[in-house]
Every structure is written in C-alpha cells, then in structure tokens.
Amino acid sequence: MSLPTTEVVSAGPYIDARTPLAAAAFLLDGQSAAIEAVRSAMPALSNGAQRMASAIRAGHSIHYAAAGSSGLMGLADASELRGTFGISSDQIYIHMAGGVPVDAHMPGDTEDDKTAVMQIATTISKGDVVIVLTASGTTPFALEVAHAAQQKGAIVIGITNNPHTPLLAMADEPVCIPTPSEVIAGSTRLGAGTAQKASLNLMSTSMGIALGHVYRGEMVNVIADNAKLVRRAVGMVTRIAGVSADAAEAAIEQTGGQVKPAILVAAGCTPAQASNLLAQNDGQLGPCFALLSSNQTNASN
C-alpha cells in the first residue's frame, strides 16, 4: 500500500546528512513549497470563507476540530477571531482531541479516540460550520467529528494535505492542500502545518472582509482591550473619518469602544444613526459612507 505524501521520505541527501546551514535552507525550502501548495486550494478556501461569513451573519457558530499539530493550527486561528474581527466568542468552538494542552504534553493516542465526539456533537447545531483538519485525511477523531457534524445538519469544511482521502470525500467543502513530502517524513508540524495555518488565515480573514470587518485595509471591528489596540482604534477613526485624535477618542467613547460606529459618529452621525446605518448595510462601512455622501449632496441642492 502506498504511503500518503506527508509520510514519504524526501529525496536525498537527507536533512540529517547536511551541514547545519544547508539543513536550515532545506527546511525553509520545504516551508516555501508548502505555502505555494495553498495556491491550488484558493477557490475552495474562498468558498469556505463565504460559508463561514454566512454562518456568522445568521447567528450560527464556527467550530474547529482536529488532533495534534493540526489542532494547534486550528486553536491559533480560532483564538484570534474575537480580537481581530470582533466575532463573539460564543460563536467560536475549539475541539481538539484530548483537549487543549496546558503544558508540553500532548498525547498521540487521543487522535484515535472517537468517544469524545459524542460530547462535541452536543455543541454543534444545524447551520453551523465545522472546519475539520487532518494532514493525513484519515484521522479517526477528525472523521468522527465530520460525520457527527453532518448528522446535525452542519456544513463541513474538510482540510487535508493528501488527495483522495476519506475526509475530502465526505466534506461539503473539500479543501486539499497538496503539500510535498516533509523534509522529516511524517512530521506534519512542518510543511503541512504551515500550509494549514496559511489556509486558515486566508479563510478567516476573507470571512472578516465579507462581514465588513475590514475597511480600507484596517481591522475596523477590532476589540480594543489593551493600550496598543486603543491607540490603533483612535488612529483608524482619525484616518478614515478625517478628524483629530481628540474627536476620534470622543467618538469611540460615545460608541462604547466600537470602532465601526465610532467612525460614522466622527463623520457626523449620532450613535443611534450610526447603528441604524450599519444594520441597514450589513455592517459594511462603504455603503454607509455612500449614503451619507448622497444625503449631504441632496441637502446642499
């Protein structure tokens, strides 16, 4: 039986037979090749992002499910969604085989554990999106979560690094990232993990854009809960609304720290008008500014 690509030994000379500098270059080349492999999966990743945006917009949840290094990639992406895009933490679930590690001990046998999926299934509802990651495409825990999710009427985005695998066959949105052989056979925390991380970044960022949480290249739905992010929020309001820092701070205070409505307040709206405008325009600042501009033009005529 042929081995999955991620388990195949790279062509020699092997990494341990190279000089330290050559070995480091070999590692970097492997990472670069893994990133390039994401390109072929971009249409599927874009589709996945739109599914995620639709779920969040409708009040459903996003779930990340995986084992081992794939689980860590999911954990990293999921944990940033609230801070970066203001996605409610109530709409984000992280399901990692064996639970999220709190130390350096991450048992390998948990990826074969199907029993934990029964509890996970209770958190999944119809209309949710469940992102299942497994480099091999055959991890029992991942496949069981995917099956349970579909039984619940959720949408499964299956991300794997090997083609023609069970996860791809059962996913509603199959995403194959055909990374080459790892420089250390089977060590999917290397190229496969890098490609998974990049793919999740691409999907979740595209979701944020679709939800209107990015405007003029800035994260306008950021949760400003530390000094650095408060300064960033003030800067965004200043630049986008074209006002002074003092006016930006006043607008942010009026909207309880919410940047998007603060931008509209700084542009001349009351907080209530800003909230109504955003609700009417699906959270998108562009159409809000277009309406404000049109109203100002009409008023001057």
Q: Which residues are catalytic?
A: 80, 111
Q: Which of 153, 124, 285 is nearest to 214 (CA)?
A: 285
Question: Which amino acid is located at 21 in the chain?
Answer: L
| 176 Cβ contact list (under 8 Å, min separation 6) | 40, 41, 44, 160, 161, 162, 163, 168
What are the Cα distances from residue 249, in Å, to 37, 209, 252? 44, 25, 5
Helix residue spans in the chain (DSSP H): 20-37, 42-57, 68-85, 117-121, 140-151, 166-170, 191-210, 227-241, 245-254, 259-266, 271-280, 285-300
Report whether the peptide linkage leading into residue 180 is cis, meaning its omega lies within 30 degrees of zero.
no
Distance, CA of 79 to CA of 176 (rounded, Å): 23
> How would you class 28 by CB atoms within 10 Å of its CB: exposed for 0-12, middle for 13-18, buried for 19 or more?
exposed
Q: Residue-wise over 216-234: b if at least 16 C-beta within 10 A, else e?
A: eebbbbbbbeeeebeebbb
Query: Under a CB-based contact definition with an 8 Å cutoff, are residues 151 and 121 in contact?
Result: yes
Query: Under a CB-based contact definition with an 8 Å cutoff, are residues 49 and 202 in contact?
Result: yes
| 247 Cβ contact list (under 8 Å, min separation 6) | 238, 241, 266
Distance, CA of 181 to CA of 172 (rounded, Å): 27
